[in-house]
A and B are shown apart, each in its own frame.
Chain A
Amino acid sequence: MKAHLTRRYRFSASHRLHCDAMSAAENARVYGKCNNPHGHGHNYMLEVTVSGSVDESTGMVCNLADLDGFVEREILERFDHQNLNCLPEFQSAVPTTENLCIETYRILERGFRHAHLEKVRFEETMMNSFEYAGGAEPHH
Chain B
Amino acid sequence: MVYLTRRAEFSAAHYYHNPELSAEENRRIFGKCNNPNGHGHNYTLEVTVRGGVDPRSGFVVDLKELKGVLHREVLDAMDHHFLNKEVPEFLTRIPTTENIAITIWQRLAPKLKQAQLHRVRVYETADLFVDFYGEP
Q: How many residues of B contact A (CB 8 A)?
A: 26
0 or 1 for each of B117-136: is its CB under 8 Å from A? (1 = yes): 00000000011111111011
CA distance A9 to B135 in the complex (A): 27
| Interface hit among A59-67, A76-84, A97-105, A129-137 | A59-67
Bits for A45-67, please: 1 = Cβ < 8 Å to B, else 0: 00000000010011111011100
Is A3 within 8 A of B101, CB to CB? yes
Interface 1/0 per residue, A1-12 and B, CB below 8 Å: 111111111000
A98 to nearest B CB, angstroms?
Answer: 23
> Which residues 24-80 of A have a CB within 8 angstroms of B?
54, 57-61, 63-65
Shortest CB-to-CB span from B135 to chain A, Å, is: 4
Query: Counting CB contacts under 8 A, is B93 at the interface?
Result: yes
Given contacts A1-B135, A58-B94, A59-B96, contact A7 B127 (CB under 8 A): yes
Q: Is the CB of A2 within 8 A of B94?
A: no
Among A4, A57, A59, contact of B20 (Cβ-Cβ < 8 Å): A57
A136 to chain B, nearest CB (A): 15
Residues of A near B127 (CB, < 8 A) are: 7-9
Total A-B pairs in contact (CB under 8 Å)?
Answer: 62
Do residues A1 and B132 form an inter-chain contact, with CB atoms below 8 A?
Answer: yes
Q: Which of A5, A8, A58 contacts B97 (CB 8 A)?
A: A5
* Contact yes or no, A8 B98, CB < 8 A: no
CA distance A5 to B101 in the complex (A): 11
Docked-complex contact B98 and A60, CB < 8 angstroms:
yes
Are A5 and B136 in touch, CB under 8 angstroms?
Answer: no
Distance (whole angstroms) from the CB of A64 to the closest CB of chain B: 7
CB pair A6–B131 under 8 Å, yes or no, is yes
A62 CB, min distance to chain B CBs, angstroms? 10
B130/A3 in contact, CB under 8 A: yes
Given A2-B135, A60-B96: A7 and B128 within 8 A (CB)?
yes
Chain A contacts for B130, CB-based, 8 A: 3-6, 61
Name A59's contact: one of B98, B131, B133, B135 (CB within 8 Å).
Answer: B98
Are A54's CB and B128's CB within 8 A? no
CB < 8 Å neighbour of B128 from A1, A8, A65: A8
Which residues from chain B contact A54 at a C-beta distance below 8 Å?
Answer: 96, 98-99, 102
A1-B135, A57-B18, A58-B94 as given contacts; A64 in contact with B128, CB under 8 Å? yes
Chain A residues with CB under 8 Å of chain B are: 1-9, 54, 57-61, 63-65, 139
| Chain B interface residues (CB < 8 Å from chain A) | 16, 18, 20-21, 29-31, 93-99, 101-102, 126-133, 135-136
